[in-house]
Chains A and B, each alone.
Chain A
Amino acid sequence: MAATIATPQQPPTPPAPGQPAPPPPARVHRARPARPGLVAMLTPQGTPAKMRALMVFLVMLSLAWGAVGAWVVATHASAADSLARADEAYSTDAQRLYLKIADADVTITTSFLVDSQPVAPAADRPSTLAARQQFDQDIQDAGNYLALLKNSNSDPRFTAAVATIASGLPRYVGAVTVAEAQYTQGITPTGDSEMEVASEEAHLTLLPAARTIYQFENDAVLASSAEATSLPAIILAAGLALIGVVLLVLGQRWLGRRTRRVFNRGLVIATVALVVSAAWLCVAFGLARSDMSTAIGQGANPAQALAQASIKVQQIRGDSILNVIARSGSTSLPADARARAKEVGPGPGSLLDAASTSGNPKVASALAKTIAAAPAWYAVNDKGYQLGDKYQYADEQASVLNTAGTGYATVQDGIKRALAAALGTFNSAASSGASAYGQLEALIIIASLLMAGASAWGLSRRLAEYR
């Protein structure tokens, strides 16, 4: 194939001020080395074509930035919002559901153990009305929490747990009512046996189901926490923004060499829009992540540890009371209680230690009394079990209901106050973190449209000079 010699193509001379732009030079066809067909088809031929290609590319880059940036903001904002307004609230409700059921059981069992036993000759039987009212309130509260939680998760295991509690609560209340009727008639052993049935329903059916619900809600908190603070998406967005800036600058330089103009206004506007929106995104993410880290580290994490501690403390208390009723001599209840006490702490790796060393001074302060009182309470519980092992039931009952009851109240009170402090920290920081994104999503979309428009406008003007 013969080669045609052509003069090198010169960039068009800019028009003098006040002069119309000269017509573009006539195109000179020149021979090129043969290229593979597809590459040749896709490779722009000549400056205008390259400018058109650059324009299309920058418009697409702008729109891609808008899509990716908005997606990143939406994802993080949604996770932060979900964490702040829904997941942690559900988790707290699930913990309260558990505690209400456990509290109902402890309240009514304790009352019957104390107030419904045979009375001294000529003495009046103590009233159980207040305990029954508290029990009814706990059950009603548990039902309300269940109603709030029932649609929060579609996992079949979650819905099965909800159904278990929904059907089990009336059965449990029924057993308690039968027990109460027997106590009222002075048929104490039957009242006790019915209370065993009721407590077994609580311990074997209701509370495990409530634990399942809590576990699901807690897992949702952890998932949202991870999503709200995850780095890969923001790295992707920042990388895209960086590439965009580099390409815009390179495009500017390439254009400058061909037009002898240092700046193309459209590309400058696009670059500024990209830099501002990307910087805003990074700053917002940094602020949100900082707030979320505080919310999680000093709020959600200690709250989770404290919720579990509260549940286990309630289990320890429930076991010791059940042992008084059961008079079983079984080693399962004290063994379980000791294992749970070790999990609660204080001690290395325990829940109380995890909460008190979370960096939240309010939590640590609220837990001080609990940490000091817990070992003594465990010792009193052990003493109760030992009395039961020796068949000294009256002494066991006195120990469990009086001394251990006081210790339980101290330990649980501190945990509740610490939990409130942790949730306060969480709510404050998480709300702040969730609001850090503000209208950023809309801003990025506007910025991307501005980039696309400015790029197209800037390059169109240069292209017009070639017509």
Chain B
Amino acid sequence: MPDTGKAASVSPGPVKEDGSGLLLPLMQQWAAAYQGQVQGVTVQVDGGGSTKGINDASSGAVDLGASDAYLSSGDVLKNPTLLNIPLVVSAQSVIYNLPGLKSRQPGISAAGLHVQLSGSLLAAMYSGAITMWNDSHIQALNGDLVLPAIKIAPLHRKSGSGDTFLFTSYLSTQDYNWNKQVGYGTQVVWPDLRTAQAPDGSAPMIAQCAQTPGCVGYNGVSYLSQELSKGLGEAALQNGGGHFTAPTPKTIQAEVNKFVAITPPNETIAMIAGPGGDTYPLVNCEYAIVSTHQPSAATAKQLRDFLTWVITAGNAGSFVNSVNFQPLPPDLRKLSATQIGLIR
């Protein structure tokens, strides 16, 4: 826990953070709560996307960059003092706007339905090989659903994004052709489709999808309540074991647990489509990108205190549940604490 007396007696300036839009709602809660508990500390948070978070932390423009993706080797080799420290477990949902979707079973409302999609199907939808929602390939996986006969409008993020990294990683893992032709990354060359759209950010993704019947897109689970309130649906995705699961606390935790034992000390790990029957395949850690070398001992201590608070008190259900995140498993929390201790 932070040493509030010492932190308050030295005033190294506010903790500046920017980056991941997916983490932003939770970071805002953390900042408000921490400032309330620790006198004299200000935490300034901002979004801008994971790429901005990495770049700003790298250049020293902010103390903390938030990213949905771990640092690439290029970033690490360029700036070996940077750490990527998992703060919390997140997941990504695949969303859609399907008016007229209904169950063949009587008495089941559309609100509780999850269209089942595989990585290969999503790759076909984003590459234009499948253009209609009632395509037989989609229907084959959703025998209980009546799919509307509307065109598929794939949405992808316009600029560099950790969300894009996660989503395209899933497609690359699941589909040979996607991996060969497009691949994965924070940005990719998307297939040039007339129906495709490119919103710039998580909130615009929701807005655009809500305005576009037939859309399919991707977003962090922290935006789920907004998506559901706009009438958007959330897909059940095929995991590494071939099962279809929706992002629930149980399936997200199950996926993370598959990777805890092989997480390296620097916690650079992709947790996409792991094996298992009850795992949700699109899970990631939300990372704080921070340099081990801080301008002063006071700044370093302030960052250590804040980050330690985040992975302990900040991982409480009162914080993470509100954005559908999951707390770090104990072993990952230990690794994160060790990394936080490297900040000097």
Contact = CB atoms under 8 A, between A and B. Distances in A.
Interface stretch (B92-100, B176-184, B199-207, B213-221): B176-184
A185 B272 CA distance: 12
Interface in A177-215: 178, 181-182, 185-190, 192-194, 196-197, 199-200, 203-204
B259 to A, nearest CB: 7
Nearest to B185: A327
B173 A188 contact: yes
Contacts of A188: 172-173, 179
A393 B72 CA distance: 15
B174 A193 contact: no
Contact of A328 (B75, B179, B269): B75
Interface string A317-334: 000001101111111110
B80 interface: yes
Given A204-B80, A327-B72, A327-B183, A178 B176 contact: no
Interface string B261-284: 010101011111111000000000
Contact of A120 (B176, B183, B188, B240): B176
A391 B74 contact: no
Nearest to A181: B262
B73 to A, nearest CB: 4
Contacts, number: 126
A118 B173 contact: yes
A348 interface: no
B123 to A, nearest CB: 11
A197 B262 contact: no
Given A189-B172, A189-B173, A329-B74, A391 B187 contact: yes
Interface string A158-186: 00000000000000000100100110011
B108 interface: no
Nearest to B261: A178
Given A189-B273, A193-B269, A330 B179 contact: no
Nearest to A175: B264
Given A121-B176, A393-B182, A200 B188 contact: no
B173 A328 contact: no
A32 interface: no
Contacts of B240: 185-187
Interface centre among A175, A192, A330, A333 (most CB of B within 10 A): A330
Interface in B235-253: 240
Contact of B271 (A118, A190, A393, A397): A190
A74 B209 CA distance: 86
B175 interface: yes
Contacts of B274: 187, 190
Interface in B65-99: 70, 72-78, 80
B273 A187 contact: yes
A334 to B, nearest CB: 9
Interface string A200-239: 1001100000000000000000000000000000000000
Interface residues of A, number: 42
Contacts of B186: 327, 329
Nearest to B177: A120
B169 interface: yes
A118 B175 contact: yes
A397 B179 CA distance: 11
Q: Which of B73, B160, B176, B183 has the most CB of A within 10 A?
A: B73
Contacts of A393: 182-185, 188
Interface string B87-123: 0000000000000000000000000000000000000
Contacts of A372: none
Nearest to A336: B77
A183 to B, nearest CB: 11
A187 B73 contact: no
B17 to A, nearest CB: 22
A330 B271 contact: no
The 6 closest A-B pairs by CB, nearest first: A330-B74, A328-B74, A328-B72, A332-B78, A393-B183, A189-B270
Interface of B: 70, 72-78, 80, 160, 169-170, 172-176, 179-189, 240, 259, 262, 264, 266, 268-275
Given A196-B73, A325-B73, 12 more contacts: A186-B240, A187-B240, A194-B262, A200-B268, A204-B77, A322-B77, A327-B72, A327-B183, A327-B186, A330-B77, A332-B74, A393-B184
